Amino acid sequence: MNTAHRPRRLAATLLAAALAGAGLTVAAAPAAHAAPSDAVVKLPFSSYSALAVDNVHQRVFVADSNVGYYLNSGTIAVYNFDGERLTTIITNQAHVSGLAVSADGSKLYAGLRDRIEAYDTTTYQRTTVASAGTDYCGRELAQSSGQIYFTTPNSSSLSQCATAETRLEGVVNGVPTTTGWLDYGDLLLEAGAGDRMLMGQPLNAKAANPFVTVYDTGNGALVRGAARRFADADGKGALDLKDLAFSADGSKVAVADATAGTRLLNADDLSDAATGYPALPSGATASSVAFSGDGKYIARGASATGSTPDLLVQPADPADSTAPLEFAFEGSLDGDKVVPRGMEWSADGSRLFAVTTNTVGNQYWLHIIQPPAVQYDARFTGGLNHSPAQAVAGEALAVRGKLEQDGPAPAEPLKVKATRTDANGTHELGTFTVKADGSFTVLDEPDLVGDATYRVSYLGDLTHRPAEDITTTVPVGKAPTSIALTAPEEASMSSGIEITGAFTAQGKALPDRAVLKVVRTDRLGTGTLSSVTVAADGTFTINDIPRARRNVTYTVSWPGDDLHSASTASATVFVTR
């Protein structure tokens, strides 16, 4: 059994570990949101063309293309749902491309260079279904309403494949029948619920504004329904199609667009859905898309580098803000990116099958991912409290709370997200770890006097549902300042007076050194002396020649600013002649 299992394999820098006794290397990484099971299989070929799933017998079929020479043999590798390879089907002197499994799981259909074949999914005995036009590029194949549809590019060499005129054909009573539909490029096919089939056109030199269209395949007919091209009047926004998929109920169409990301369309007219999916992570280019058969999840595959996720698994409902499960594939253990047309789900949504490749595109891996099947509730309890009790601008503030979650303990700590809203708007504070006892601490440094409202959110993951947000409003005051004076008890008019002091300001550092006002009061009245500037270490010195004997009082003050309170201090010196 040539699989590597990782119980926790998510977006992060990979850590290599040896699989003892198997001569393999596996990767492990901390979970970003949840901890599914991920079995990784190294595929036994250096090219890829198609992936299909038999849910009845729990079989996964992966085909290479091997179209470099017209007499090349193709390969279909057969695995069970645990990633164990059961057999390998060799298509002698005929490369293999499109794959499709019959609705009852009894037959695997494959597009070969010059024919369509069917394989019994238990005995693997092969039968020729129909002859087909000679294909030098690789063909697409789909079954809809019990009928086989396939593409045939009109090309005599690989150099012509990208722009070859491609026909859409069907198999009627074992006879290939032209449908009359054709266009340029490697046209993609995808069957869906309700006797419907998608056809999409990749961007190529002869198709500057490619299309997506829906066909009704009921009653053995092929009737074109909605169609759409995406470029505007200036030619901008054209589709760069890599993959397309129907939602489980057939009401939506998801399109992997290398330019625009994941487009979500209404299947009836291919208009944009009212709510779409968030953008892929920065640096990720859409390459594949697939809905789970139970309607719960969508998988969005991508090409990305480093720790940027190549795969996101998230709720199919775009209005559900549950954080996606993220996978970053990096290196010789996993491949580097998800291939176009490289994902399929099991019918019950318990497994996602994803094919990855390396940067060069000559090695391939099959990932069998099991998202958690159950979601549990989570909730904030006990409200939020903060310390210190009096928050001041420019000083650290801790906002504490507790998040409870049902179900088993998470494999990795949960995370909460926090924001602060004040007179200057809403500020993202980042994410904070929830401890094993459910407690968490949001750390902040408010920088504005007035009310600050803290909102803490738990967005959920594939194991836990989102919790209702919790908020608290904290009055933020000015940071205190203080002035301390050191003066002699007695001095003379002849020798003068020297008073030293220290100015302290809490909170945010002052933009400039504080300038202190000095007022002298004696028996002749009150007057303002020269101001003093505080040194970098907060100290200052006042020197004065008193003008009268007896008690002389010196008052030193600072007026405060937008973030700091005012302060004052006095010292009285008995003056002799």
Could you report the per-residue pLDDT of 125-173, keeping only the tens digit for each? 999 999 898 888 999 999 999 999 999 999 988 889 999 999 999 997 7
Residue corresponding to tokens 């006990």: 382
Indicate if 78 and 119 belong to the same structural domain: yes
Mean per-residue pLDDT over the chain, rounded? 89
Q: Determine the average pLDDT of the residues in 540-566.
A: 95
Domain boundary among 477, 501, 525: 477
> How many domains does the chain divide into?
3
Q: Determine the average pLDDT of the residues in 479-503.
A: 95
Residue 12 has pLDDT above 70, yes or no: no
More confident residue, 471 or 94: 471
pLDDT at 333: 83
Indicate if 66 and 33 belong to the same structural domain: yes
Domain boundary among 303, 337, 370: 370
E-strand stretches of 133-210? 141-144, 147-154, 165-172, 175-184, 188-192, 196-200
Indicate if 470 and 487 belong to the same structural domain: no
Indicate if 442 and 489 belong to the same structural domain: no
Indicate if 123 and 243 belong to the same structural domain: yes
Domain boundary among 370, 386, 417: 370
Indicate if 439 and 521 belong to the same structural domain: no
Please give the Cα distance from 117 to 91 (Å, whole number).
10
Torsion angles phi and psi, residue 218, rounded to 5 = -65, 150
Indicate if 163 and 258 belong to the same structural domain: yes
Indicate if 165 and 46 belong to the same structural domain: yes
Indicate if 162 and 290 belong to the same structural domain: yes
Q: Determine the average pLDDT of the residues in 39-54.
A: 95
Residue 549 has pLDDT above 60, yes or no: yes
Beta bridge partners of 370: 37
Please give the Cα distance from 405 to 415 (Å, whole number).
12
Indicate if 384 and 460 belong to the same structural domain: yes
More confident residue, 358 or 72: 358
For residue 322, give the nearest of 432, 420, 442, 417 by alpha carbon.
Answer: 417
More confident residue, 69 or 569: 569
Indicate if 160 and 244 belong to the same structural domain: yes
Residue 31 has pLDDT above 60, yes or no: no
Q: What is the DSSP string of 60-125?
A: EEEE----SSTTPPEEEEEEETTS-EEEEEEETTS-EEEEEE-TTSSEEEEEESSEEEEEETTT--
Q: Determine the average pLDDT of the residues in 457-473.
A: 86
Q: Determine the average pLDDT of the residues in 214-226.
A: 90
Which CATH number fits the domain that encloses residue 410? 2.60.40.2470
Which CATH number fits the domain that encloses residue 332? 2.130.10.10
Please give the Cα distance from 16 to 213 (Å, whole number).
45
Which pLDDT band, with edges at 50, 70 and 90, does 78 fall under?
very high
E-strand stretches of 158-310? 165-172, 175-184, 188-192, 196-200, 211-216, 223-229, 241-246, 252-257, 261-266, 285-291, 297-303
Q: Determine the average pLDDT of the residues in 65-93.
A: 91
Q: Which domain holds residue 486?
A: 481-576
Is the alpha carbon torsion for 375, 381, 384, 386 positive or negative?
Answer: negative
Indicate if 415 and 543 belong to the same structural domain: no
Q: Determine the average pLDDT of the residues in 460-469.
A: 81
pLDDT at 29: 30
Residue 574 has pLDDT above 80, yes or no: yes
Which pLDDT band, with edges at 50, 70 and 90, does 373 fall under?
low
pLDDT at 466: 83
Which CATH number fits the domain that encloses residue 510? 2.60.40.730
